[in-house]
A and B are shown apart, each in its own frame.
Chain A
Amino acid sequence: MTTIAKLLEIQFQGYFMCRIATDPDPTNEQRGVSGYTLALVGEDPLDQVIRTQIDDPEFLARNLRPPAREMGIRVGVDVNGVLFDGQPYFGPARDALVGARLYLEGTNPPFPGPTYDSRNNIVGSDDNMAFVVNPFQLALRKGPAGDESLLIKAEDYLNPAKPEQKIWEIEDPETYARRLPINFSSSSVPAQSAIRAFDGAVYFQDRVKYLRKRIEDLERQRAETPDPKVAADLETRIQELYTRIWQIDFWASRIETKLAFQLTYSFNVNGPQTVIDRTGSLQGEIDSGQPWPVTFWFGSWDGDLLIGWMEGSLSVPFRPAG
């Protein structure tokens, strides 16, 4: 008799950051020139990387724009629930997994991490939001970075016949069509609900009000400081805020509408799988011998803060102990 391993559905959600260049900038533009996104003076270059976790506090300090913190936003996609065989699960594996951090790892040279790959319609479609997340190396990590008590990794190949092949070398995109979004909605209620923002115009009007208020505060500080270096630094920050207001005003609906965008992916990961459970916290066995279904969406995109929402699940065949 064949005993089937039922699926443990590991659910995750949270904010991600992507310092992405936007059309008509080339997709490797590092500062942002002609699109609606740009790197401010004190920030890192646009590197296109999808960051579901930010472990470097200095990077976060440089690049998480105000008022993200005031809004209670924390960049981090974490495990928030577990189902087993389609039902809510309260076994040991739940405790082991909830709170695990989801990482998208690997690089897509010249970019230092995974990106939404399109190359301005060469290997995808900007107009249809048909981007491959490239590479796809998902990792769930519980415990301190580098010394995780639990680690689950799943990698998917664009072309399983030639795992090393770059996307631009693949002649027929049908090869990686399974990695393209299965659905795109430009007016998604789930995307709006996730961040509780239902009117993009009002959302960004509030943002502009906030930025103007912040400019007033900084101008006051600049007028009061006797230190020319401090005054120059404040002037830089003021100009950064003016730049953001200008971008929001100029691009208007192109930025506002993306709050309601939802881009959904679903495929079975076809590459190597890794499970390391140092303490036996799962109290069961994950089957690494068959493809793991993964489904997730990106959306709720704030093109001023360069952050969005990610939500989804990784399903692994699981046999509880006993």
Chain B
Amino acid sequence: MDTMTTLGYAVLPSEMTWSPRELFDLFNYTYATLLLLLTALYADFEPQASQSYPFFSSALQENAFGPMMTMLLRPLAEIMAYTRSGNGEETTGPSFELSDADRARLHEPSKLGNIQIFLDRLDEITRRLQRLTEADLAAVARTAGDVPFLDRQLRFVFESATAMTNNMRRIYQLGQLPQFVVAP
């Protein structure tokens, strides 16, 4: 029987081990988090210069673009291509699926105005990344030669996610460091 994703789509073969599947789901969870974050940001955007505590808009803005897109999503998709996520000849790519619950959240931006929603999701992403990093990578690598790449990339993404979570909490409370604020 084919392995099913948490959303019920049969896209991965049964010989796949659990870790690539977890990575696959983590990508979609992270992608959904980015969509929620952007929706919340633009639903109630405030320029950084005019903000005071709580720095909600700034906390979202500083995580949305460079970090989330280039340091989490893209690397996760690339890592997937180096795992046994396919049929032995080819590997799968991300499916960009949204759960029904997340799809519903996107239709109600007014309910996204709570930093804890995003901190919880980043905590979850970090927790799952740590789990993947600590896994037996030889068991999930596409080939033995891919293990060093997987190890290097997963650790780097985990570190970035950890720092992003800290940034979100800190910026919400204190605002962004002035040297990092981009002049309009």
Contact = CB atoms under 8 A, between A and B. Distances in A.
Interface of A: 23-28, 110, 119-128, 130, 166, 168-169, 171-174, 177, 180-181
Interface string B139-170: 00000000000001101100110111011011
Interface centre among B70, B170, B177, B181 (most CB of A within 10 A): B70
B47 interface: no
B49 interface: no
A1 to B, nearest CB: 42
B8 interface: no
Interface size grouping (class) on chain B: 20 to 34
Given A26-B71, A119-B160, A171-B170, A128 B182 contact: yes
B69 interface: yes
A124 B66 CA distance: 11
Contacts of A173: 177, 179-180
B167 to A, nearest CB: 7
Given A28-B153, A169-B162, 10 more contacts: A23-B66, A26-B71, A26-B74, A26-B156, A110-B156, A122-B163, A168-B159, A177-B179, A180-B179, A181-B179
A301 to B, nearest CB: 20
B182 A125 contact: yes
Nearest to A130: B179
Given A23-B70, A122-B163, A168-B163, A28 B179 contact: no
Contact of B177 (A24, A28, A168, A177): A177
B62 interface: yes
Nearest to B163: A168
B66 A128 contact: no
Contact of A128 (B156, B160, B162, B179): B179
Interface in B48-68: 62, 65-67
B179 A24 contact: no
A27 B159 CA distance: 13
